[in-house]
Amino acid sequence: MHKDLVRVQEKIVENIGENLRTLEISDKRPVIVSVLAIAERPLAEEEIAARARLGSKEVREGLGSLLKKEFVVESADKSSGRVGYELSPDVEKIALRNIRSKIEAVRSSTESHVAECEGLLESGKAEFDDYDRLMAKYLREKIKRMKAVSTIMTRRTALLRLLDSSEEEKGEIKKITIE
């Protein structure tokens, strides 16, 4: 491959690494994913480590996690017999489902806590003194914000569900209930 093309690949991976450091993210899996995303062929573990400028232990652990979550697949190199790794052909769908399930889990947890908080505010209401009523009012405002975040998550989940299902249903858009 031409040296300038190799340099472009290096710069892309370097950019991902810098962004992770800026965001104070220590997880190196995005670097591995970026290496595989721009690779011209499936790569062996050693090649990934060299291109990502990571230790072999970090790459092995990252690949293990990515394989388990199906973001990466193994492919055997028939000429050398070595195991190569590449991004799953369905990586976008897998990522969407992963994001959607995490948003749904956070939303569900938030709604559960909101319901519990509202119940606590109601159950002690008769015993509140002036300060308690003021504090309860303040806490109700915070609970309203939690509800707003939960509503936003519900809408985002519906959008992700639509994006995930539209290709499988050949672009047919169905009505999705937003709770």
Position 57, amino acid: K
Q: How far is 130 from 118, CA to CA, in rounded Å?
A: 19
Q: How far is 4 from 17, CA to CA, in rounded Å?
A: 20
Query: So what's the pLDDT on residue 170?
Result: 52
Residues 6+ apart with CB under 8 A from 126: none
pLDDT tens-digit readout, 3-44:
888 889 889 999 998 999 999 999 999 999 999 999 988 999
Residues 6+ apart with CB under 8 A from 49: 55, 56, 58, 59
Query: So what's the pLDDT on residue 173?
Result: 52
Query: So what's the pLDDT on residue 156?
Result: 84
H/E run at residue 166: helix 130-168
pLDDT tens-digit readout, 62-76:
999 999 999 999 987
Query: So what's the pLDDT on residue 56?
Result: 93
Residues 6+ apart with CB under 8 A from 48: 32, 35, 36, 54, 59, 63, 85
Confidence bin at 176 (pLDDT 50/70/90): low
pTM of the model: 0.68
Contact (CB, 8 A) for 20 and 27: yes
**CATH 1.10.10.10 given to domain 3-87:** yes
